[in-house]
Structure 1
């Protein structure tokens, strides 16, 4: 496990990297860039599946949101777990305009997200 000021990172088996953002965190551009580097360091050139978990009271600065939407890591698939309707609307808006080269899906349930990732 790796921990930063904004999130904890867990390896789930050999092929899933799980980023769990902390409760009431304000996610900044630096946090997103750091998460990309953690992924690249852990993956060591392999493509992995990514599980992103955002708590209900997480907020993200505009620059971080735009960077995260426009950039990507070489992943097999990416599942995003959110807790609120407001986060769901925002996530769908950004994912509809910023297409990734890998599948990306938004969930409100962690188990459903893991089930979906298992299909890759």
Structure 2
């Protein structure tokens, strides 16, 4: 973990490494989430955790929807190098539908689950943190 930094603010998201080891990414956009946003987040989170693998919990505004390109990239092996598991907290029916379709169609290469409650998502994500 990067001792000097526990969070990063980007145009598209706030990224925080929680004390429990879960990385929380809060998407600040209120529109379509594009691949450029996803790449910027990956670069920032990689620096924040110093290349350590972590589970991630995503939250966002109720109106943001990832583009098709982002959904394909997030499901890929390349994006998953530092990700143990993904938990998505959804706020609306359209987000829930997109998230469930993402899991069924894109078939992410790591454990992925959709939640409506942030605390439940964090508890699930923590189960993937390796015991030291």
Bin for the TM-score computed over the shorter chain:
0.7 to 0.9
Change (3 A) 1:22 1:103: same
Is the 8 Å Cα contact of residues 57 and 86 (structure 2) preserved in structure 1?
yes
Find the counterpart in structure 2 of residue 62 from structure 1. Answer: 68
Q: Distance in 1 between matches of 2:42 and 2:29?
A: 20
Q: TM-score, normalised by structure 2?
A: 0.79
Please say if residues 6 and 25 of structure 1, whose CA atoms lie closer than 8 Å, have aligned partners that are also in contact.
no
Runs of 4+ residues over 6 Å off in structure 1: none
Give 1:76 deviation, angstroms: 2.0
Please name the residue that 2:59 is paired with: 53
1:100 matched to which residue of 2?
A: 108
Q: If the length of structure 1 is used for normalisation, what is the TM-score?
A: 0.85
Could you say if the C-alpha distance between residues 64 and 75 of structure 1 is closer, same or farther in structure 2, counting changes exceeding 3 Å? closer
For structure 1, the residue ranges without an aligned partner over 5 or more in a row are: none
Q: Which residue of 2 aligns with 1:21?
A: 27
Gaps of 5+ in 2: 1-6
- Kindly indicate whether the alpha-carbon contact (under 8 Å) linking 2:21 and 2:126 is maintained by their aligned counterparts in 1: no
User: 1:1-120 counterparts in 2 under 5 A?
Assistant: 1-13=7-19, 15-22=21-28, 24-70=30-76, 71-73=78-80, 74-120=82-128
Residues matched between the structures, number: 120
The 2-side partners of 1:41 and 1:99 are apart by 27
Instruction: Report the alpha carbon displacement of residue 40 of structure 1 after superposing the two structures with TM.
Output: 2.0
Paired residues of 1:12 and 1:18 also in contact (CA < 8 A)? yes
CA contact (8 A) 1:6 1:26 kept: no
